[in-house]
Amino acid sequence: MMSFTVLIVVLPFLMFLFLGLMDSKLKPAVAGLLGTIGLATVAILSYITAYLYFFQVGKVEHVWQPITALNFNWLQVTEKLHIDLGVLLDPISVVMLLVVSTVSLMVHIFSLGYMHGEKGFQRYYALLSLFSFSMLGLVVATNIFQMYIFWELVGVSSYSLIGFYYTKPSAVAASKKAFIVTRFADMFFLIGILVLSYYTGTFSFAELCNPTGPVLGTTIGDTFMGWSVVSWAMMLIFMGGAGKSAMLPFHIWLPDAMEGPTPVSALIHAATMVVAGVFLVARFFPVYYFGAPEVLTIISYIGAVTAIFAAIIACTQTDIKRVLAFSTISQIAFMITSLGVSNYGGEHGLGYMASMFHLFTHAFFKSLLFLGAGAVIHAVHSNEMKDMGGLRKFLPITNITFLIACLSIAGIPPFSGFFSKDEIMVAAFEKDKIIFGILYFTAGLTAFYMFRLYYRIFWGESDKHYHHTPHEGGLNSMTIPLIFLALLTFVIGFIPFGKFVSSNGEPFETSVNWLVASLSVGVGVVGILIATVMYLKKNSKPETMEAALKPLYKASYHKFWFDEAWLFATKQIVFARISKPIAWFDRHIVDGFMNALSTATNWTSRKIKVVQSGEIQDYALAFFVGALTIAAMVLFL
Amino acid sequence: MTTIPLEAYLVISTLMFFTGVYGFLARRNMLTILMSLELMLNAADINFAAFNRYLYPGQQDGMFFTLFAIGIAAAETAVAIAIIINIYRNLKNISVDEVNKMKF
């Protein structure tokens, strides 16, 4: 009965083909409207799916059951090795369907206003549909190979959307960087998939993730350099996830990806694609927990370090989209850490639930922040903070919704971010105090940098003079998504998420840990207060701070020189020390051998071609002498 | 009547054949070369006839071969002369070393 869910994936693909192949025969407004209607249908189907799953068929004997709505054999390579495509519904994939289709719909609507009059409007909508198709196909994947296929499709559509303004060199460079970095990480992902399925003999999630199933047992005993093969495979798979989710050290592509149109950043680089890595770890959580616990510990530390690292950088960036990009990295790192510190089963799996909850709430308030930033950029035609200030008078709706999102990400109740971040804090607090400390400090930094951003856009220099008076024009396609998302940010925090999503499907009640909750609200408030003192009115305190923390400020402003380090590693080490000698070997030894062969052949043929003189009598003589020789040999030998 | 021995025929045919070979290799005029070629063919014909007569007197195979060879030689000469005439029309010359364009 759930097989209609395949439409959720197929519809955006058809829309992509239609918009992509119609070329420019449609009017831009028609193309945009068609894309939006298509996505609205998808969103409605997703809501129906979620309703049916959560309230009708999903729960059997108080445990959430995964449902394979559809599965067909796509490629049968051998009897055992086959690649299937299908639709798998379980709590996390249904939650992801909700997130992806809702945010995508909001972005479609927002873009009607934001991208109005842009060249390539139809191409933009076609690519958005392609992205929605890939992401939806990824979240409902029944097996890891299907996930990998859609994973790469997501990468391609992200590449083409970052490079949407393809006449701009920086956008082209950014799209290439994003593609190459994530592709580099995906190489490890693929190796991990191959290792895992080689040893277990299956691609299917249902078989891989069954903690009591035979698969987790069969590989025990095979070790490589001290780790079991499952640990190695899961580490490699996590590296793929770290590439898409911009964890250290693969985070470098995400800030540059902001070259794309802002609604695209909201959809892909804040709400959906970048959480694919989190989704991947969550999907494989039983395998991580039972098969590779040491990897899970590594994951939690990578997450914690990335969280604080990105938060520190976000404090000094001046491009508003880059601040949001680093904030995204930091928040995704929260989710990753939360998975890393989680245990398995019921309320012990609090971290798992918290991670998915934060993914859910973050998707909405972060896309709200990005769309708000888009509205600001649309109004003042600049990404730089120095070109902004005092915008609250001109953009009242944007101001309020942006403030709501900032409060939410800073963890102030009753906004949704408070609830999910608090669960993460509790999970970390119970497992590992060091990680809790890092996350706690990061939460304070988050509040600080978000309000620095907010004040510098909407307050600060209140008497700033603008060439064109910025305006937002009341209720229109750009402000309605903002209001809708702001409302969601208010409401969704109250969802008892543990009743729907848990690591083994058993619902549980979440209780508020008052100690942790008050601590994290406290640090959030402190962060906001510091930001208020420094940035509400224009004053000299930021400069004083900057001078006092000169080395740290510089390191943060230059993003801890990670880009330079990667450039050094690739240019100086890989290109100069490895690729160049190999290229030399190829050009001089391999090619040289072949060239020598052909030169020798040429030389020989030049030398012997004089035999062919064209004089018939020469040939006849040779023939005659030859005939005589043969005759003599026959007679005398 | 004393019979003529087989060797006499063979000596004649050998002389004719090598005269032909010499002419074929040494002369420059194409018509002379053609004549040398005919000499070689006729030497072979004499061999056929002589061997048939002396070794297998009851059979006629060698004679038929000889007649065939004469017929084919006539046809071949006709073709060769046609080619030589064409060469003469083009080059105003029938010296064989002028016709050496067919090479690398």
Answer whether A352's CB lies under 8 Å from A285's CB. yes
CB-CB: which of A609, A615, A620 is closest to B100? A615
At A477, is the secondary structure helix, strand, or coil? coil
Neighbours of A437 (CB within 10 A): 14
Residues of chain A with pLDDT under 70: 1, 211-222, 462-464, 467, 473-474
- Give the C-alpha distances (Å, rounded to integers) separating A528 from A185, A313, A437, A517, A637: 36, 17, 19, 17, 111
Give the H/E segment covering residue B74: helix B61-91
Amino acid identity at A447:
A
Q: Is the peptide bond before A414 cis (omega within 30 degrees of 0)?
A: yes
- Give the C-alpha distances (Å, rounded to integers) separating A524 from A337, B26, B48: 19, 114, 121
Answer whether A206's CB lies under 8 Å from A287's CB. no
CB-CB: which of A613, A616, A621 is closest to B96? A616
Q: How many residues does chain A have?
A: 637
A41-82 tens-digit pLDDT: 999 999 998 888 888 887 777 788 888 888 888 888 777 778
Structure confidence at residue A256 (pLDDT): 86
Neighbours of A573 (CB within 10 A): 11
- Give the C-alpha distances (Å, rounded to integers) separating A474 from A112, A396, A397, A483, A600: 15, 9, 8, 11, 81
Structure confidence at residue A1 (pLDDT): 66
Structure confidence at residue A632 (pLDDT): 95
A616–B99 C-beta distance less than 8 A: yes
Write the secondary structure of A568-623 as one string of H (helix), E (strand) and C (coil). Answer: HHHHHHHHHHHHHHHHHHHHHHHHHHHHHHHHHHHHHHHHHHHHCCCCHHHHHHHH
If you count residue pairs, one on A and one on B, with CB atoms under 8 Å apart, how many are there?
25
Residues in B touching A612 (Cβ below 8 Å): 103-104
Residues in A touching B25 (Cβ below 8 Å): 617, 620-621, 624
CB-CB: which of A615, A620, A621 is closest to B97? A615
At A204, is the secondary structure helix, strand, or coil? strand
Amino acid identity at A538:
K
Mean residue pLDDT across chain B: 91
What's the rounded Cα separation, in Å, for the pair A479 and A487?
12
Structure confidence at residue A471 (pLDDT): 72
Determine the distance in angstroms separating the CA of B2 from the nearest CA of chain A, rounded to an integer.
33
- Give the C-alpha distances (Å, rounded to integers) separating A453 from A246, A316, A528: 22, 10, 11
Residues in A touching B101 (Cβ below 8 Å): 614
> Which of A262, A266, A16 has its CA nearest to residue A118?
A262
Site of tokens 């052949």: A601
Give the H/E segment covering residue A86: strand A82-89
What's the rounded Cα separation, in Å, for the pair A110 and A50?
24
Answer whether A133's CB lies under 8 Å from A13's CB. yes
Q: What are phi and psi of A68, to 5 degrees?
A: -90, 100
Percent of chain A residues past pLDDT 70, beyond the cut: 97
Structure confidence at residue A554 (pLDDT): 81
Structure confidence at residue A287 (pLDDT): 85
What's the rounded Cα separation, in Å, for the pair A394 and A352?
42
A345 compared with B14, residue with greater pLDDT: B14
Tokens matching residue B79: 């073709």
Distant-in-sequence contacts of B42-45, Cβ < 8 A, 24+ apart: B42/B16, B43/B13, B43/B14, B43/B16, B43/B17, B44/B13, B44/B17, B44/B69, B45/B69, B45/B70
Determine the distance in angstroms separating the CA of B88 from the nearest CA of chain A, rounded to an integer.
17
Radius of gyration (C-alpha) of chain B in whole angstroms: 17
What's the rounded Cα separation, in Å, for the pair A97 and A94?
5
A242-285 tens-digit pLDDT: 988 888 888 888 888 888 888 888 888 888 888 899 999 998 88
- Please state the ipTM of this predicted complex: 0.86
Q: Please check whether residue B96 touches A, CB under 8 A.
A: yes
Structure confidence at residue A121 (pLDDT): 84
Q: What is the pTM of this model?
A: 0.79
What's the rounded Cα separation, in Å, for the pair A11 and A34?
12
What's the rounded Cα separation, in Å, for the pair A365 and A404?
8
